[in-house]
Amino acid sequence: MSEPLLLVINAGSSSLKFATFNAKTLMRLFAGGAEMRSSGIRFTIENEHDVCVRSEIIESTDWRRQTVEKLFAWLEDEKLTSLIKAIGHRVVHGGGILCKPCRIDGPVLDTLEQAVPLAPLHLPENLKAIRTAIRIMPELTQVACFDTAFHACQSRVTRTYALPAELYKPGYERYGFHGLSYEYITSRLNDLFSPHTAEGRVIVAHLGNGASLCGMREGQSVATTLGYSTLDGLIMGTRPGNLDPALVLQLVRDHNGDIDHVERLLYQRAGLLGVSGISHDMRVLLESNAEGAKLAVELFVNRAQRELGSIAVAIGGIDGLVFTGGMGAHSTTIRERIASGLEWLGISLDPDRNFAGNVRIESSQSKVAIAAIETDEEIVIARHTRSIIDGV
């Protein structure tokens, strides 16, 4: 191997993924990462043929930093380090200032540090991966790609909160997240659906440890369930989704004004984990007979159905629905349970197609085209990184 490479690092709330791409063709050459699971944190690397070339358990509370270090050690062992031309990073929040992919420098890092309160579960991990990569390979161009950027085109009405005008300051608005995933799905709409549907009213359900919905028209974000922070909207692995603000205020009072404690509770101990008392992992909950697990699943499905109906109103109906994310792409049960309450919207799954893992899974009676595919945030980051270093 002698052609230049792009390295992509995607640090999420419960996983860290990475991949290398041929810098010219954007062909994926290897991929891997580490993920928090009930059995522990496993670090893996697969080659371009999906064959595992490395697998081990990481036993560290600082496992994201250790994952990046293990990745670079492997690159060095394979004599690939010198081929890397640039590194692209997923960054969950641009702080309301950074709205498009950019080179990472001192001012960019300062802006991201200041934005940590907007995404305290994600941004510290994004920054940790970035700083580790800079420490190991300081001479390389590093590029930040923002999850909030995809939604920057939304209208002022959609982005504005009903706060007193005298309290308003830049940043007090709805941002939306999972934008890199939505950008990838948008690039695939013409492959999935007819041109009329692809350019029409499409709802994408990104369902994973972090979860949201996005309603699009002509491939542009119109409405999404996440807002100012990553706490809003759907129930998630460890986050509650939409809460009455009065309840948050009461939680602060109940904990003697300890805002940091309540913040940790809402970001790390709520959601599926909090309700079930068992796990943040939907796979574990679906296999459990415990009442808490059943309730957590029912709440997740109910909220997804309600929010999907709301997004459909915001975009004026629905022509296409795409399930993606870890749950959306792989959990036939979750797809079936969400769809089963949405017949009034014209949504009808074909049970055989759904459980067979087909891409198109609507029934012949469905008025809505329905697809289920894996997202690929890494290829989106690679595209942006190439554009930055090529000056496009």
Pick the CATH number of 192-372 from 3.30.56.10, 3.30.420.40, 1.20.1440.130, 3.40.190.290: 3.30.420.40
pLDDT in tens, 129-140: 999 999 999 999
Is 369 a residue whose pLDDT tops 70? yes
**Sequence-ordered list of residues with C-beta below 8 angstroms from that of 2, at least 6 positions apart, any chain:** 83
pLDDT in tens, 98-112: 999 999 999 999 999
pLDDT in tens, 158-191: 999 999 988 877 789 999 999 999 999 999 999 9
Listed by start position, the domains of the chain span 5-146, 192-372
Q: Computed from CA positions of residues 358, 182, 7, 3, in that sequence, does the dihedral angle turn out positive or negative? A: positive
How much is the pLDDT for 15? Answer: 86
**Mean pLDDT of all residues in 147-156:** 95
User: How many helices (DSSP H) and strands (DSSP E) are in the chain?
Assistant: 15, 13
Catalytic, out of 77, 110, 147, 232: 147
Q: Do domains 5-146 and 192-372 have the same CATH topology?
A: yes
Is 84 a residue whose pLDDT tops 90? yes
Is 241 a residue whose pLDDT tops 70? yes
Token pair 């009903």 in the structure block, residue: 162
Based on C-alpha coordinates, what's the Rg of the chain?
Answer: 21
In this structure, are residues 209 and 12 in contact, taking their beta carbons and an 8 Å threshold?
yes
How much is the pLDDT for 38? Answer: 63
Q: Which amino acid is at 145?
A: C
- Distance from C-alpha of 217 to C-alpha of 200, rounded to nearest angstrom: 5
- Distance from C-alpha of 224 to C-alpha of 202, rounded to nearest angstrom: 12
Q: What percent helix, strand, coil does the chain show, rounded to 5? A: 40, 25, 35
pLDDT in tens, 290-317: 999 999 999 999 999 999 999 999 999 9
User: pLDDT confidence of 57, banded at 50, 70, 90?
Assistant: confident
How much is the pLDDT for 49? Answer: 87
User: Considering the entire predicted model, what is its pTM?
Assistant: 0.94
**Mean pLDDT of all residues in 44-70:** 89
| Joined tokens for residue 55 | 């697998």
How much is the pLDDT for 136? Answer: 96
User: pLDDT confidence of 96, banded at 50, 70, 90?
Assistant: confident
Reply yes or no on whether 281 is catalytic: no
Helix residue spans in the chain (DSSP H): 63-77, 106-114, 123-136, 156-159, 179-192, 195-198, 245-254, 259-264, 271-276, 282-286, 291-314, 325-330, 332-339, 351-356, 377-390
**Mean pLDDT of all residues in 252-267:** 97
Please state the CATH superfamily assignment of the domain spanning residues 5-146 in this structure. ATPase, nucleotide binding domain (3.30.420.40)
The percentage of the chain sitting over the pLDDT mark of 70, rounded to a whole number, equals 99
The percentage of the chain sitting over the pLDDT mark of 90, rounded to a whole number, equals 86
User: pLDDT confidence of 121, banded at 50, 70, 90?
Assistant: confident
Is 13 a residue whose pLDDT tops 80? no
How much is the pLDDT for 39? Answer: 67
